[in-house]
Amino acid sequence: MRVLRVLLGLAAALGVVAAGALTWVLRDLPDLEPWAARWELPEAPPRGWEPRITARFLGVATLVISDGETTLLTDGWFTRVGLWDILRRAPVSPDPDAIATGLHRAEIRRAAVVMPVHSHYDHAQDAPDVAGRTGAVLLGSETTAWIGRGAGLREDQIRVAEPGVPQVFGDFTVTHLVSKHIALPAGQGRLGESLDAPLVPPVPIDAYPEGGAWSILIEHPLGSMLVQGSAGFVPGALDGYAADTVFLGLGGLARQGEAYSRQYLKEIVDALGARRVVPIHFDSLTERPDGRHVPGPRLLFDPRLSFALLEEWAEARPGRSVAWLRPWREVVLFPSPGGS
């Protein structure tokens, strides 16, 4: 009995130490403000008659791109799931209040298309609801389509993207290119897995498999951009394509290290000949941004690696820049050729 008591005591002590270590690691949050101060784009002046393309970044990989006539969204993710609910695999549903508030705050009434960059919950969980509220088409993988069906989205609002085949929305042309998800610790994220039946919430977040990761090319007479949600790449996949601006997902690079990060920049940003990089997916998955982006733990994203590499990339190449989008704020990405 005494041995058992000692063992139980030891186990309890180890548990306390492990919980303490986990808390410490998760509380090691980087300071993003020095980078925001260096790179921030000014708020868009009120829209006049001139055509222009604006963007808003709403956290993680949710972007709103608009030319005033047509509005496109990536992800449309407003729900957040707390760490405790993630750890205990609690069944969760899209948060209708967060979605309604988020759409209102980003001034989105109608949208042409909502495009999850892949089918993990932090990209695809709210997309069917957002499509339903804005009249948009949900465009993505087969798995994303099953998430749409599970949410009760009408079949005529669900479209499966064909790799490399352009789709037209107003003056925008959107092309989904096959990419790769960044490697995750063994057993996490159900990489390479897909759905073949409707996914009906509430479900634990690991019910959302990856379903295939995209690089999404968005072209318009005023400018071109690529949205890279997950920090993976298929070597050579973007050869022959070009984009002026890359929205570059940085989540998970801290684990992959410097050599991988440099290769990633080369395969995505340099392959497209891009002149501007907008960092995305560097922020918290458990808290919504307000006036500032909420940092995620340094364990997942370390600005001392990724932001420093971006700064080095811009400084080494004339005419290249890094742009910071404060959450919710509308910025002009491409002004009209003749005006502001």
Map residues 106-135 to x or -, x wherever contact with Zn ion holds by CB under 5 A: --------------x---------------
Comparison of 120 and 133: residue with beta carbon closer to Zn ion: 120
| Strand 113-115 with 245-249, pairing | unpaired
Least separation, in Å, of the C-beta of 43 and Zn ion? 30
Position 288 contacts Zn ion (CB under 5 A): no
Kindly determine how many residues on this chain lie close enough to bind Zn ion according to the rule CB under 5 A: 1
* Measured CA distances, 104 to 100, 107, 133, 170, 181 (Å): 6, 5, 11, 22, 31
Least separation, in Å, of the C-beta of 51 and Zn ion? 34
Site for Zn ion in 3-62 (CB under 5 A): none
Least separation, in Å, of the C-beta of 214 and Zn ion? 11
Q: Concatenate the DSSP letters of all residues of 217-280 into one string.
A: EEEETTEEEEEE-SS---TTTTTT---SEEEEE-TTHHHHHHHHHHHHHIIIIIHHT-SEEEEE
Comparison of 223 and 229: residue with beta carbon closer to Zn ion: 229
What are the residues whose beta carbons fall under 8 Å from the beta carbon of 336, sequence distance 6 or more? 50, 51, 52, 222
Least separation, in Å, of the C-beta of 313 and Zn ion? 24
Comparison of 162 and 193: residue with beta carbon closer to Zn ion: 193
Comparison of 116 and 223: residue with beta carbon closer to Zn ion: 116
Least separation, in Å, of the C-beta of 55 and Zn ion? 22
**Structure tokens of 224?**
């071109």
Comparison of 71 and 179: residue with beta carbon closer to Zn ion: 179
Least separation, in Å, of the C-beta of 181 and Zn ion? 6
Comparison of 132 and 148: residue with beta carbon closer to Zn ion: 148
Give the ranges where the chain is alpha helix by DSSP (H): 2-26, 33-39, 83-87, 96-105, 121-124, 127-134, 142-150, 253-265, 271-272, 306-315
Residue with structure tokens 């759409």? Answer: 103
Long-range contacts of 318-323 (CB under 8 A, 24+ apart): 319/275, 320/275, 320/276, 320/277, 321/39, 321/275, 321/276, 321/277, 322/38, 322/39, 322/276, 322/277, 322/278, 322/279, 323/39, 323/40, 323/41, 323/245, 323/276, 323/277, 323/278
Rg (CA), the chain: 20
Comparison of 43 and 193: residue with beta carbon closer to Zn ion: 193
3-state secondary structure at position 146: helix
Least separation, in Å, of the C-beta of 94 and Zn ion? 17
Comparison of 89 and 109: residue with beta carbon closer to Zn ion: 89
Least separation, in Å, of the C-beta of 188 and Zn ion? 9
Comparison of 169 and 282: residue with beta carbon closer to Zn ion: 282
Least separation, in Å, of the C-beta of 252 and Zn ion? 8
Residue nearest to Zn ion (CB): 120
Q: Which stretches of the chain bind Zn ion, using CB under 5 A?
A: 120
